[in-house]
A and B are shown apart, each in its own frame.
Chain A
Amino acid sequence: MSAMADTTLRSGEKLRVTRSRRNVAWTGIGAVLIVVILAAFPYYVKSGVLVIMIQGLIVLALASMWNLLAGYAGLVSVGQQAFFGLGAYFLLIPAMHGLSPFAALPIAAIGGGVAGFPLWWLVSRLRTGYFAIATWVMAAAILQLIERFQSIGGGSGLPLPGLVGYNPAVLTADTYWAALAVAVLAMAAVYVLLRSRLGLVLTAIRDDERAARSSGARVGVARLLVFVVAAAGCAAAGGVEAIDQLQVTPVGGGGVFSVQWTAIMAFAVIIGGLGTIEGPIVGTIVYIVLQQTLQSHNAWYLIILGLVAIGIALFARRGLWGLLDEKLNIRLFPVGYYLWTPGQSRRRRRNGSVSAGTDVKAGSAS
């Protein structure tokens, strides 16, 4: 399973490059175990807890996507709520035509991804700051467009058909599984993307875009792919939110087009650790804890979340996970590489402490 590359030093000796973890198998098994345990939750966990977890899983999916955009492709989007909302509506419309909302989730995801293409064309040539504002305008414009269609509820939204008559406990469980599926798929997508050649391209872009371009890396394609995947992921999450809320409302406190969603996903990522795969998990946990302790209808949790995010962005760039990582040197998701100088072997590495091998963490922000 280790991808090895051989490079030759000036002196003719060979350098070896391997994956940073020998036992990817262990991580894989561990991940599957966790998912299995989580999937079994509805059988022995209370509904109240499940509801909280649904929120958490939605945020986790969103955070993974925002992390992919900003932490790896350097795209700071403050308009992701556009796709979140679109996903909700792409779920609503098939449901209005008789399809079960759960079955409509893939449609929402695909719809979001497809919508990503023309929107990417609009914003792709813009630099960081302009890109951010353009995404914000894009979201505002899409909201305006959607609100004009009375058939899908106009400015006040519509209840989601197809969920009447559901046993509440079963509905919660089904919603939970949908949320879990979306979150797992989102994280899996990120992991696969980063382990692929694309992952290296993305890291190269983030470190130095001009150099990446001139070295031939398919920068444009990489960023497009990331944008579309993020669009699909956010749309899927929006679909789950619609199911969870039993309705689709465009504006207002919990409105699907509200910028609060981008704020939540961005803050979760920053606090957890921008540019690390594990970051969104940590950030989501922090978000849920804050939200629960400060009651979700209070504006306080967003204020505190925002202040903490600002503080961490300035002083602990790699977030809480980054701090943990430095202390314990763990990596849950091995996407990095080790560089072995000639003469080093694994055994010597474990015995020796300060090795000449350089840990090139492809999965983390510099």
Chain B
Amino acid sequence: MAWVNAVIQGILTGGLYALFACGLSLMFGVMKVVNLAHGDLATVAGYVGVGVIAATNVPFLWSVPIVVAIMAVLGYVLQRSLLQAAISRGELITLIVTFGLSIVIENGLLQFFTANTRGIGTGSSLISASFSIGSQITIAWLDVVIFGLAIVVLLGLQYFLSGSKYGRLIRAVADDREAAQLSGADYRHVFGIAAGVAFATVALAGISYGMTTVIDPTSGTDTILLFAFAAVVIGGLGSLWGTLIGGIVLGVAQQIGAQINISDELLAGYIVFLAVLVIRPQGLTARRSES
């Protein structure tokens, strides 16, 4: 039964990974940016959450929208300034700039918060509680809540992209930037909106992550970025729900790996990721055709 537990755990963790991944997928789908600082931004959100709670003593649930709003604005600003400048100078420069950003963020966090790990105290006993199905399956409520959150976020994103004015604009700009300009759309503003949305999801992901485990300045690249990217790649780029599938596959693979050998958890995930990269290169090497 430990295996069933592992699979269920993996599926639920997949929700968290999908939360990490959807922002990355959005930014790559729209701006063609592989944001190497993505994971670190989730960590920043986690730290901002810690900071907000500590500074204002608001109940945990209040801090969430505050952090999300801060990160969304940060996303818009960062996109319009730094990232746009990098994008207009090419893929190479963009990679270098986002890599540099990642290192600066990590070391910045290290400098100001030290390497000590932090957790987000939620002050609610609900979070650490778990329930049981039958006699041998235990599921933590928190994991279910986060999975539910992931579904809600993905649904929200889907509705936003398909039904709203900016969602349409984002898809249009992603399809054909020039044609969108000819229709009066300032693509840089649209990019900014997309980045704001992506950062908002990253914020939720970072806070959720901070609730499930402790975070430290290097969590961003050690774990989050790789998991996010793995979920995107495994699930298939360009598909929002694909990130959920990818996340689930990754989560399950990790849990199965952990069952085999407790220290194999991460390695199992990497192997699956690399296997997908090798076996399905056509999905990754083919560029979205630029009109």
Contacts and interface: CB of A to CB of B under 8 A. Distances in A.
SS class of chain A's interface: helix, strand, loop or mixed?
helix
B107 A299 contact: yes
Contacts, number: 132
Interface in A55-91: 70, 74, 76, 78
Nearest to B237: A130
Nearest to A141: B270
A309 B86 CA distance: 12
Of A137, A263, A303, A317, chain B has the most CB atoms within 10 Å of the CB of A137
A310 B82 CA distance: 9
Interface stretch (A119-127, A162-170, A279-287): A119-127
A134 B274 contact: yes
Given A76-B95, A132-B36, A137-B274, A126 B285 contact: yes
B111 A137 contact: no
Contact of B104 (A70, A76, A123, A310): A310
> Which size bracket describes the interface of B in this complex?
35 or more
Contacts of A123: 277
Given A127-B285, A128-B92, A78 B36 contact: yes
A127 B287 contact: yes
SS class of chain B's interface: helix, strand, loop or mixed?
helix
Interface stretch (B173-181, B189-197, B223-231): B223-231
A314 interface: yes
Interface in A89-126: 122-123, 125-126
Contact of A300 (B101, B111, B281): B111
A144 B223 CA distance: 12
B5 to A, nearest CB: 23
A263 B103 contact: yes
A313 B284 CA distance: 26
Nearest to A70: B92
Of A70, A259, A299, chain B has the most CB atoms within 10 Å of the CB of A299
Contacts of B281: 125-126
A254 interface: no
A147 B263 CA distance: 10
B97 A310 contact: yes
Interface in A132-158: 132-134, 136-138, 140-141, 144-145, 147-148
A128 B91 contact: yes
6 contacts: A76-B92, A125-B284, A127-B284, A137-B274, A270-B96, A314-B97
A129 B273 contact: no
Contact of B284 (A76, A126, A260, A303): A126
B266 A309 contact: no
Given A133-B229, A303-B111, A144 B277 contact: no
A313 B93 contact: yes
Contacts of A313: 86, 89, 93, 96-97, 100
Contacts of B284: 125-127, 130
Nearest to A301: B107
A115 B103 CA distance: 27
Given A125-B281, A133-B34, A141 B111 contact: no
Interface in B75-102: 82, 85-86, 89, 91-93, 95-97, 99-101
Nearest to B286: A127
B13 to A, nearest CB: 18
Contacts of B33: 129
B29 to A, nearest CB: 12
Nearest to B218: A259
